[in-house]
Amino acid sequence: MTITLITGANKGIGFETAKQLLELGHVVYIGARDVERGEKAAAALGARFVQLDVTDDASVSSALAAIDAAEGRLDVLVHNAGILGDGVIDGPTALRVFDTNAVGIVRVTEAALPLLRRSSNPNVVTVSSSAGSFWAVNNPDRPEFHLPLALYSASKSAATMLTVKYAKAQPGIKFNAIEPGTTATDMTAAFGIGRSPEESARTVVRLATLDADGPTGTFRDESGELHW
């Protein structure tokens, strides 16, 4: 039985990832900031719910403590929570975007490490983005070339780097970052682009179900490793 926590999983790619992992037999905890939405999503899927706001230390600690008490370990952690931070670029917006998209990864990872170390095949997946890749944003053939999302892009660069650094610091745990593909979600609705969350979630699920000898410290999409 594989115990999995997905942050920001009450909708979009996180919700579809939870659905697909449940179908594979995982025990899935849906982490969501909003209790009502999170409980509704968990009930719809047959998943479990923990209130988890990645920008709040107490919320993160409480969520991981609840999983520890119920399960005694964590096998898979999926960092999915994220915000776009489009519109005005200023200090408060930058702090909010980085707090969610990058610092939140640190909060949740640090709280989860003791539980992950008790797993026989611990695995951490960061839902990152090629919008944070120097290679992609400077390549006219890539969709990221035209995205005017400075704060989101910068925060996803940080998310990918954190993933690589954690992989080096924690050799007993797999850490990989995924570019799930341009996806039509609530977050990207204004751009009118992307494929279904269900399709993109499949790329996340592939990384979340790696064998013990799977790769670590990589940034990839469904086709393999990416430049960044």
pLDDT in tens, the chain (228 residues): 999 999 999 988 999 999 999 999 999 999 999 999 999 999 999 999 999 999 999 999 999 999 999 999 999 999 999 999 888 899 999 999 999 999 999 999 999 999 999 999 999 999 999 898 889 888 899 888 888 899 999 999 999 999 999 999 999 999 999 998 765 445 544 445 555 778 889 999 999 999 999 999 999 988 888 877
Sign of CA dihedral 182, 185, 187, 193: positive
3-state SS of the chain is CCEEEEECCCCHHHHHHHHHHHHCCCEEEEEECCHHHHHHHHHHHCCEEEECCCCCHHHHHHHHHHHHHHHCCCCEEEECCCCCCCCCCCHHHHHHHHHHHHHHHHHHHHHHHHHHCCCCCCEEEEECCHHHCHHHHCCCCCHHHHCCCHHHHHHHHHHHHHHHHHHHHCCCCEEEEECCCCECCCCCHHHCCCECHHHHHHHHHHHHCCCCCCCCCEEEECCEECCC
Please indicate whether residue 133 is annotated as part of the active site: no
pLDDT score for 133: 85
Catalytic residue, from 59, 155, 156, 200: name it: 156
pLDDT score for 195: 55
Give the pair of three-digit tokens for residue 37.
């939405």
Q: Is 183 exposed, middle or buried (0-12, 13-18, 19+ CB in 10 A)?
A: buried
C-alpha pair distances (Å), 201 with each of 18, 20, 90, 127, 209: 9, 8, 32, 10, 12
pLDDT of 34-67, one tens digit each? 999 999 999 999 999 999 999 999 999 999 999 9
Catalytic residue, from 59, 128, 129, 130: name it: 129
pLDDT score for 183: 56
pLDDT score for 48: 98
Please indicate whether residue 19 is annotated as part of the active site: no
pLDDT score for 188: 47
pTM: 0.92
Sign of CA dihedral 65, 71, 75, 77: negative
Longest dimension (CA), the chain: 50
